[in-house]
């Protein structure tokens, strides 16, 4: 792996305040990119930027609501204003819903998850593609999930959104290939994020890790590294693809 494979690139990372988004932003900056860290969590987003700046990288924070088109449009404009152009983006912002049976799923919860996880990715892609077309192309990476390939038990909205992300990723890749724009999706499995840690006690976490094929749960940086590769010229002939980062899943 080249340590400067993203040198000279300007990238947007949504959901950059914590977890996979923070790890990816740090990875991109380490590899030479200038990063716009976008999130609705101002404190967390600024902390990510501070970590990048402290390590000698280049980053700015921009508060965004990915469900609001004007906010997304302003985010893309801020990236161009800050760094001169947009080279690519990692659309990673997402949420899930409380578990429930399909027939007990609350409509408000369904709408909230779809608004962030699917409409948010659509809006980001819409305005990122418009910007990338102006400067000869670039790369987009979207965060889906292994739930986009199978199902997340008790989470029908999350499952639906993550499946749909794969569809719009493939659509964009096909439509904009001759505009020099690549689009790919990552499907992470279990990742050691603050959200996962908060959802269970230490014993349950250890038990879950033991059930995985390698006996451990992935670190967010392992997703960030795959995203960096997909954004770089090392994957120049990879587009419309779904990359599963799950080490074979959980054994039963």
Examine the residue annotation and report whether 158 is marked as an active-site residue of this protein: yes
For residue 124 the two structure tokens come to 């980001």
- 3 state DSSP class of 212: strand
Task: Concatenate the DSSP letters of all residues of 50-97 into one string.
Answer: HHHHHTT-EEEEEE--TT-HHHHHHHHHHHHHHHSS--EEEE------
Distances (CA, A) of 72 to 55, 77, 141, 245: 28, 9, 16, 28
- In whole angstroms, give the CA distance from residue 177 to residue 169: 12
- 3 state DSSP class of 42: helix
- In whole angstroms, give the CA distance from residue 112 to residue 45: 21
- In whole angstroms, give the CA distance from residue 181 to residue 88: 9
For residue 52 the two structure tokens come to 């990048």
- Which residue among the candidates 158, 171, 237, 247 is catalytic per the annotation? 158
Residues forming the active site: 158
């Amino acid at each position: 792996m080249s340590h400067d494979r993203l040198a000279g690139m300007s990238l947007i990372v949504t959901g950059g305040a914590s977890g996979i988004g923070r790890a990816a932003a740090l990875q991109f900056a380490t590899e030479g990119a200038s990063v716009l860290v976008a999130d609705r969590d101002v404190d967390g987003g600024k902390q990510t930027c501070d970590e990048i700046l402290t390590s000698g990288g280049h980053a700015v924070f921009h508060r965004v609501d990915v469900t609001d088109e004007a906010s997304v449009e302003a985010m893309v404009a801020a990236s161009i204003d800050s760094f001169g152009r947009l080279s690519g983006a990692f659309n990673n912002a997402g949420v899930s819903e409380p578990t429930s049976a399909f027939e007990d799923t609350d409509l408000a919860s369904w709408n909230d998850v779809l608004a962030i996880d699917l409409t948010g990715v659509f809006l980001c892609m819409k305005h990122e593609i418009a910007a990338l077309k102006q400067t000869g192309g670039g790369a987009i990476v979207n965060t889906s999930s292994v739930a986009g390939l199978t199902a997340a038990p008790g989470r029908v909205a999350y499952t639906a959104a993550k499946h749909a992300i794969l569809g719009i990723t493939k659509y964009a890749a096909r439509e904009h290939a001759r505009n020099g724009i690549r689009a790919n999706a990552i499907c992470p499995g279990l990742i050691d994020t603050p959200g996962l840690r908060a959802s269970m006690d230490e014993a349950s976490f250890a038990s879950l890790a033991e059930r995985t094929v390698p006996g451990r749960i992935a670190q967010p940086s392992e997703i960030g590294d795959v995203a960096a590769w997909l954004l770089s010229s090392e994957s120049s002939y990879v587009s419309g693809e779904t990359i599963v980062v799950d080490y074979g899943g959980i054994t039963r």
